[in-house]
Amino acid sequence: MKWILLLIVLVIPIVSGNTANIDIELTRTDVSIINYEFELYLTEEYNSFEYVSITRPIGVIYDGDYVVLEGDYYTIRFYKELTEGLNVLEYTLIYDDLIEANGNKVFRTNFILEGVEETFVNLKLPTANYLYGTPNTMPAHSSLSTDGENIIIHWETTSQNELPIAVFYKEDKESLLWIIIFLVMVVLISLFAVYYYTNHKMRRIITDTLSKDELLLIEEVRKGVEKQKDVARNLGFSKSKMSKIVRKLEEKDLLVREPYFKTNKLKIKKIN
């Protein structure tokens, strides 16, 4: 079985144009998510390729089969049929030991890529974190950008076999506080919207099942007429009809009747 080796060393019969795209995402829990994508022009066919590292990742994401090989280094063999010409290799590794945290934080790693002509690295800092110090990245970054929430650091290198990277950053506690406040407000507004929608829908369902006389009685009580005899007089209901409607609304758990001298006081229970 023929295989090629990636990171620490990429050893293959090469044609010009090989590139490496490495996207790194740092999380607030000091986890590093690194996605590797290689565009390789091969002059031979291979059945697999290997990743070698001194540090053991805590997770591997790959769209295919792979095995872990034991030895002096941590090695993963990824199975993929590689043909002559252009091939794209992609996998993601997750680490929890690449960040030094002692108040401020430092991310360190080293990429060794022999046979790669161009390397593009993008590193996304956690939300509410920013670079500090001089220098704040090693080697010096090519450019910076943002997606509106995170700072993204870019490096571009050509014909450089080894690329050690260090990034010095820390948390903006004031910005983080505002982010937390914003998220809390979003949650509260969402809960209020759900509550309002649910209650409004429930009231619609309830009122749609009421008779005309029941709706008239509810509306009269909502106007502030509390005494049962006054409601009956205003609506022109007989004493027996009024008692019957009140009883039905009590059964529907919409009305509360409280004794008041020789009559009752009526109060709306669920509909405001």
Q: Provide the residue ranges of all domains of the chain, joining segments of one domain with +.
A: 3-171, 172-208, 212-268
pLDDT mean by block of 10 residues, the chain; 272 residues: 43 65 94 94 87 88 91 87 91 92 89 85 93 91 92 88 89 65 81 71 64 87 87 90 89 85 82 48
Answering whether pTM is above 0.95, one says: no
Cis amide prior to 139 (ω within 30 degrees)? yes
State residue 252's pLDDT score: 82
State residue 200's pLDDT score: 61
Handedness of CA 84, 88, 93, 98 (dihedral sign): positive
Given the candidates 1.20.1630.10, 3.30.70.60, 2.60.40.1930, 2.60.40.1730, the CATH classification of the domain at 3-171 is 2.60.40.1730
State residue 183's pLDDT score: 77
Reference 267, options 251, 249, 240, 242; nearest CA is 249
Q: Which fold has domain 212-268?
A: Arc Repressor Mutant, subunit A (1.10.10)
* Nearest-angstrom CA–CA distance, 155 and 137: 10
